[in-house]
Structure 1
Amino acid sequence: MQGSVVVVKFGGHAMVDADLQRAFARDVVELWQAGLRPVVVHGGGPQINAMLDRLGLETRFAAGLRVTTPETMEVVRMVLTGRVQRDLVGHINAHGPFAVGMTGEDAHTMTAVRRAAWVDDRPVDIGLVGDIVKVNPGTVRALLDQGHIPVVSPVARGEDGQIYNVNADLAASALAVALDAERLVMLTDVEGLYANWPHSTEVIERLSADALDELLPGLASGMLPKMEGCLRAVRGGVRKAHVLDGRVPHAVLRGVLGETSPGTTVVPEADADHDGSPAHDECAV
């Protein structure tokens, strides 16, 4: 794996726990020191919710995605790029001059179109939520070649000039494919994908893209973008995608460098064992 790109989506409870933030930053630097080339894509759900609440704006989700009005989009852009990204860059750079912050808007790195959404087989308007249709990874590659760790906020511009809020899981997946990454790592607030939630907390340790495709329609909304991102990644050429519990210190190191990964691992080939039971999860995005 020496020299390989590893894209890590940072989100969940770890984003609001100072100790976990610092532990995550150390893990990312250790990946870099081990000869890998980490790229971080971050979410910011809790911080966005808090700011919307302070401003008296409504927080709504549909189909696992944040309903984004023009007013909400202003808050999303401000919080992601002005606070969350800055904090994360600062934690990583406490260990040296590694991290450089950017957004999907920069150098047209990510181009998005308005995303359609469906709930109970009916279309719903989720506002300025984008789906990535094109990635130009040149700026990210240049930063990696210079020895930096890119930290990317999931905001993208459309060809219509509109700015879109992009789900961080799906942004990380699209970037991983464009960078021909070896691994995609999704941090969340559960142990992995449950085999038969809520009747069991048994985690599916490994499954193929085809098996995940079958399970996807039955997933609860919180886990849906994460597993959709994993599916897109492995079908786009990423060798493995991991869903890990970000509440566990050093989950990233264990997932990437360990002989066996905790959580759930998605692989392209149909060599994964799972029981085929419907999988559900109550994880919040």
Structure 2
Amino acid sequence: MRIVVALGGNALLKRGEPMTAEVQRANVRKAAEALAALAREHDIVVAHGNGPQVGLLALQAAAYKEVAPYPLDILGAESVGMIGYLVEQELTNALPADTKLATLLTQIEVDRDDPAFDKPEKPIGPVYSSDEAKKARDAHGWVMVEEGYEKWRRVVPSPLPKRIIQIETLRLLVELGVVVVCAGGGGIPVIRDRDGNLVGMEAVIDKDRAAGLLAEEIGADAFLMLTDVEAVYADWGTSQQRAIRHVRPDQIDPANFPAGSMGPKVEAARTFASRPGRIAGIGRLEDAAAILEGAAGTLVSSTAIAAMHNDPEPAPEAS
């Protein structure tokens, strides 16, 4: 089976953890163990998020006053190189010595007129207190939104992915049996200028939408979105919340979920699984194999029978 696996940025850097290189490497090593178990049985392509990491780089860039801060497309490329290096190295250590691996910095074309550029909604970076958020907004002109009581994050435009620039290269690597790490951070957003040249854009593409496009373009059989959330929850945050375990694409509406987090996951899963024979799953990284079998997480397929179970534990929101 050919599987595209999308790792959430918060699956690689847990909420509340210090954003150090050592902590990220430790988390990537755990992720590599779960990915290696899949790779021993299936052909996998790995995409990943970069929300916490690119936000940290933006903070570091803004702190250096000698030059203007680098734009988000360049910071995104930096974060993708960092994460891709760690993922590829830990997968190399976890898989047989003859396994072929490659990390590809991936540019993805977006529409310069995408309405997302006028409505930032993709959270990046750390969580701020109300006072810290005000200082960041005043100092850098960032758009900040409240994610919970006294919890604020920066949000940036998240345009829809239209075309993967290096798709032929990706197909070639996949056909040769290479485990590819690509579309990191949702890919680097670019547009074509009037001369047809590629130009980077100040934005972050949602990695689940980008990974869904990737899964479609390489003819994947399954698409897994792995994060720090056990499953998709109906009526999340209320006393009626319950985990959705199995559902058909026409039974779940992305509009019922937060636009900057779980909404794009549901949208990507529904779009991919709408074709018969294909499945999409959402759940925890450590449950990857079980999600594929329908024993954990949320499984979306055209043949699924919707099932919801009461969940006694409060569910965190995805990123």
TM range (shorter): 0.7 to 0.9
Q: Deviations over 1:15-43 (max 9, x none)?
A: 12544422321332332322x11000111
1:255 to 262, 271, 291: 291
Shift of 1:101: 0.4
CA distance in 2, matches of 1:52, 1:238: 42
Show the counterpart of 1:181: 220
Show the counterpart of 2:116: 117
| Bigger Rg, which one | 2
CA distance in 1, matches of 2:215, 2:277: 7
Amino acid at match of 2:299: T
Shift of 1:270: 6.5
CA distance in 2, matches of 1:27, 1:189: 13
Shift of 1:125: 5.5
Shift of 1:186: 0.4
CA distance in 1, matches of 2:158, 2:244: 30
Superposition CA RMSD, Å: 2.8
Q: Deviations over 1:126-146 (max 9, x none)?
A: 776432223463322221222
CA distance in 2, matches of 1:212, 1:235: 11
Show the counterpart of 2:298: 264
User: Is residue 180–residue 237 contact of structure 1 (8 Å, CA) maintained in 2?
Assistant: no
User: Is residue 24–residue 252 contact of structure 1 (8 Å, CA) maintained in 2?
Assistant: no
* 1:11 corresponds to 2:11: no
Show the counterpart of 1:92: 91
CA distance in 1, matches of 2:191, 2:277: 25
2:267 to 217, 228, 243: 228
* 1:131 corresponds to 2:160: yes
CA distance in 1, matches of 2:262, 2:315: 6
CA distance in 2, matches of 1:128, 1:238: 34
Q: Deviations over 1:196-248 (max 9, x none)?
A: 221245211011111113xx2221232111111112212356711100123xx
User: Is residue 104–residue 156 contact of structure 1 (8 Å, CA) maintained in 2?
Assistant: no
Structure 1 residues 186 and 53, CA gap change in structure 2 (3 angstroms): same
- Tell which deviates more after alignment, 261-270 or 82-91: 261-270
Alignment of 1:1-285 (within 5 A): 4-16=1-13, 17-34=24-41, 36-56=42-62, 71-80=71-80, 82-94=81-93, 95=95, 96=97, 97-105=99-107, 110-114=108-112, 115-117=114-116, 124=119, 129-135=158-164, 137-152=167-182, 153=184, 154-160=187-193, 161-164=198-201, 165-199=204-238, 200-213=240-253, 216-221=254-259, 222-235=261-274, 239-246=278-285, 249=286, 251-256=287-292, 258=293, 260-269=294-303, 271-274=305-308, 283-285=317-319
TM-score under structure 1 length normalisation: 0.77
CA distance in 2, matches of 1:159, 1:185: 31
For structure 2, the residue ranges without an aligned partner over 5 or more in a row are 14-23, 64-68, 122-155
| Identical amino acids, percent of aligned pairs | 22
CA distance in 1, matches of 2:73, 2:277: 30
Structure 1 residues 117 and 111, CA gap change in structure 2 (3 angstroms): closer
SS where residue 242 of structure 2 aligns? coil
SS where residue 147 of structure 1 aligns? coil
CA distance in 2, matches of 1:217, 1:22: 35
SS where residue 229 of structure 2 aligns? coil
CA distance in 1, matches of 2:76, 2:167: 23
For structure 1, the residue ranges without an aligned partner over 5 or more in a row are 58-68
Shift of 1:284: 4.7
Amino acid at match of 2:180: P
Q: Deviations over 1:27-61 (max 9, x none)?
A: 32332322x1100011111111222222337xxxx
SS where residue 198 of structure 1 aligns? coil
Q: Deviations over 1:84-110 (max 9, x none)?
A: 1111111111233432001322xxxx4
Count, aligned residues: 250
Show the counterpart of 1:64: none
SS where residue 139 of structure 1 aligns? helix
